[in-house]
Amino acid sequence: MKKTFFCIDSHTCGCPVRLVTGGVPFLSGHTIMEKRLQFMAEYDWIRKGLMFEPRGHDMMSGSLLYPPSDPANDVSVLYIETSGCLPMCGHGTIGTVTIAIEEGLIQPKTPGKLRLETPAGLIHIDYTQEGPKVKTVKLTNVKSFLYAEGLTVDCPDLGEIVADVAYGGNFYAIIDPQKNFRDISDFSASQLIHYGKIIRTLLREKYNFVHPEDPLIHGLTHIQWTGKPLKENSHGRNAVLVGENALDRSPCGTGTSARLAQWYAKGKLEAGDVFVHESYIGSQFIGRIEQETSIVDRAAIIPSIEGWARITGYSQIIIDDEDPYFEGFQV
Ligand code: PYC
């Protein structure tokens, strides 16, 4: 069987987003979380084929659009990444919205605004345009919160590493500068990936990460190293381990949300504060604490993330099951 997928490629602040516009499978689930579970069980070959080499690469990331389950909303988004089908992806949302508006794939109910259903929950979008081009996309994210503080692992070569874990649509272990890790700039990208993977495995073995309100959202997916920004107008810098072999090229929308929640819980930020976050390559997102809220037994925030994306191309990608690499590969 040979299947053709039509895709529009873009990048959000340097990080790829491949929106699949043709060849999208029918999914019978009502909500986007139900559709996500069906996609993972029956169509994961599409994700692997479009994300991994030789059709994608270690930092490829993408999305598929479906009708919303609630007619009050504009659209549902299913995220496909090298790391799986994330419940939410910030840079993916900014790229997806930019493509969908510029290419006329969505007719917003209210100009300049969208209501997006994601597996993690409802996301509110405010976007600006100059002519046909989308200039900025601001997403108001799901409730974000500090999940655990001061978790420790013993990392070979580095020694004890202390991490806080926060949720911003995905779970992030945030490794701030400390005795055995002074700054992102002391490590090469391959060292951040190498040690990040070891620390993620050790944390997964030692602790459980389950969303207190939605047990379908679970698991520690990302390590977020933090450090001194390179630009004067940034408040912080991060390097986020994505999948098995990459650092996010954007400042990571859900990672920034998690970091805002961590700083809020520690009294370093309050409602209304702005936090400009810088990525490993120096691109920036504007994070803001929009609202204070709570989740089960703890304080939480509603953060927003603002960034931009550019369309880079159109592609028709073939996945042929006679190709030994039809599901791609990772090295
Ligand atoms: O921007 O939320 C994000 C993200 C998740 C994984 C890579 N980027």
Is the pLDDT at 112 greater than 90? The verdict is: yes
Q: Is 247 in the pocket of ligand 1 (CB under 6 A)?
A: no
Q: Is 155 a catalytic residue?
A: no
Q: Is 249 in the pocket of ligand 1 (CB under 6 A)?
A: no
Instruction: Identify whether the C-beta of residue 112 lies closer than 8 Å to the C-beta of residue 128.
Output: yes
Q: What pLDDT, on a 0 to 100 scale, did the predictor assign at position 291?
A: 98
Please choose, from the candidates 162, 140, 150, the residue with its C-alpha nearest in 3D space to the C-alpha of residue 260: 140
Say which residues have a Cβ less than 8 Å from residue 124's Cβ, sequence separation at least 6: 113, 114, 115, 116, 139, 140
Q: Is 90 in the pocket of ligand 1 (CB under 6 A)?
A: yes
Please choose, from the candidates 220, 222, 230, the residue with its C-alpha nearest in 3D space to the C-alpha of residue 277: 230
Task: Kindly tell me the sign of the dihedral angle through the C-alpha atoms of 139, 145, 148, 152.
Answer: positive
Centre of ligand 1 from the C-alpha of residue 268, in Å: 23
Q: What mean pLDDT do residues 11-19 have?
A: 98
- Probe ligand 1: pick from 98, 240, 283, 285, max atoms within 8 Å of CB? 240
Is the pLDDT at 271 greater than 90? The verdict is: yes
Q: Is 253 in the pocket of ligand 1 (CB under 6 A)?
A: yes
Model pTM?
A: 0.98
Q: Is 89 a catalytic residue?
A: yes
Q: How confident is the model at residue 297 (pLDDT cuts 50, 70, 90)?
A: confident
Q: How confident is the model at residue 60 (pLDDT cuts 50, 70, 90)?
A: very high
Prediction ipTM score: 0.99
Q: What mean pLDDT do residues 105-123 have?
A: 97
Rounded mean pLDDT of the chain?
98
CA distance 172 to 168: 8
Please choose, from the candidates 93, 69, 65, the residue with its C-alpha nearest in 3D space to the C-alpha of residue 78: 65
Centre of ligand 1 from the C-alpha of residue 234, in Å: 19
Instruction: Identify whether the C-beta of residue 275 lies closer than 8 Å to the C-beta of residue 267.
Output: no
